[in-house]
Copies of this chain bind each other. A is one copy, B any other.
Amino acid sequence: MSEHFFDQAVALQPDGEHAFRGAAHPAWANMVGPFGGITAASALNGVLSHPQLLGTPVALTINYAAALGPGAYRLAAVPVRTNRSTQHWTLAMTQPDADGTEQTVLTGTAVTAARRETWSVSDQALPAAPAPKDVERILMRGVEWLQRYDMRPVHGIVPRTWDGSGEHSLSQLWVRDDPVRPLDMLSLASLADVFYPRVWLRRATRVPAGTVSITTYFHADAAMLARTGTGYLFGQAQGQAFRNGFFDQTAQLWNEAGEMLATSHQIVYYKE
């Protein structure tokens, strides 16, 4: 059995202390470079593969400094501070330019922690929605990575006509890997970026747009991941402000049982 496209894409080879080698995978191609979610997952994989790792992911910030090219990249994942129960990481992806000089294409930080059970509650309930089986799958064309997910929009589907009529920026959908793959922290990091640009919905106008920075917080523990398995996640994203070339969006991901698995926030460049 061949390896899942997701595992192929996030695969890393150790390359010295605090460093790895990887490469963008054509199965995850976006308009320019790969889908940002898979790049974020690949960077997080450097943390989770590191021999000095303490705990599990709490926070991940990824800044996309330049388009990731088709060749190999170098990923530095450095545990710059290890406390008793938390660990702080810096992340950088570089690729050689035409002259062979390594150039930064991604920066980032992560926090991991040895988490213990405490009083816990989800303060944002899973929105009311029909079950995944009762929602039609959307078949999207144009870029390759869209084929990697089974997406079933519940609200705020991509506009069918680009007529400038948009009134809100809220999207909700059921989503999971296609083919299915048991949820883990890496796929959760990728899924946090699965939403199309809010500006397209808000304006019903298709303008160039791309994520500049994304931060994801991980609420899931191993038991929640196991309970979620290959089930669908319910994803929700909404813009907050669109201003002078950048808009932000908040996002939440729940499993079918209504457990909040992750929350995310990103800022996105847009033109015009």
Binding site for B on A (CB under 8 A): 58-59, 61, 63, 65-66, 80-81, 83, 86, 88, 90, 92, 103-105, 107-109, 111, 113, 115-124, 168-169, 198, 202-203, 212-213, 215, 217, 219-221, 238-246, 248, 250, 252, 260, 263, 265, 267, 269-272
Query: Known: A104-B80, A213-B111. Is A123-B168 also a contact (CB below 8 A)?
Result: yes
With the chains together, A196 CA to B43 CA distance in Å? Answer: 32
Q: Which residues of B contact A59 (CB under 8 A)?
A: 63, 212-213, 267
Closest 9 CB pairs of A and B: A265-B265, A65-B81, A241-B260, A65-B88, A115-B244, A219-B241, A215-B215, A59-B213, A219-B243
The distance from the CB of A211 to the nearest CB of chain B, in whole angstroms, is 11
| A272–B83 CB distance below 8 A | no
- In the complex, the answer to whether A272 meets B118 with C-beta atoms within 8 Å is yes
Are A119 and B272 in contact, CB atoms less than 8 angstroms apart? yes
Closest to A213 in B: B59
**Cross-chain contact A265 with B250 (CB below 8 angstroms):** yes
Please, how many angstroms separate the alpha-carbon atoms of A64 and B93 in the complex? Answer: 22
List the B residue with the shortest CB-CB distance to A166: B121
**Are A65 and B90 in contact, CB atoms less than 8 angstroms apart?**
no
Partner of A265, one of B115, B121, B215: B215
Contacts beyond the supplied A81-B105, A115-B246: 13 A-B pairs with Cβ under 8 Å: A59-B267, A65-B81, A65-B83, A65-B86, A90-B90, A109-B213, A115-B245, A123-B198, A123-B202, A217-B246, A217-B265, A241-B260, A265-B265
Known: A81-B66, A169-B123, A263-B265. A117 touches B202 (CB 8 A): no
- How far does the Cβ of A183 sit from chain B's closest Cβ, in whole Å? 16
Q: Is the CB of B245 within 8 A of A116?
A: yes
Determine whether the beta carbon of A245 is less than 8 Å from that of B81. no
Q: Bound state CA distance, A107 and B79, in angstroms? A: 11
Provide the bound-state CA to CA distance between A116 and B90, in Å.
31
Asked if A81 and B103 sit within 8 Å, CB to CB, the answer is: yes
A10 to chain B, nearest CB (A): 21
- Are the C-beta atoms of A271 and B118 separated by less than 8 Å? yes
B242 and A119 form a contact (CB under 8 A): yes
Q: Are B104 and A244 in contact (CB under 8 A)?
A: no
26 residue pairs from A and B, CB less than 8 Å apart: A58-B246, A58-B267, A59-B63, A59-B267, A63-B109, A63-B111, A65-B86, A66-B81, A80-B107, A86-B269, A88-B107, A111-B267, A115-B244, A115-B246, A118-B270, A119-B242, A122-B240, A122-B243, A123-B242, A213-B215, A215-B265, A219-B241, A219-B243, A221-B244, A250-B250, A265-B265
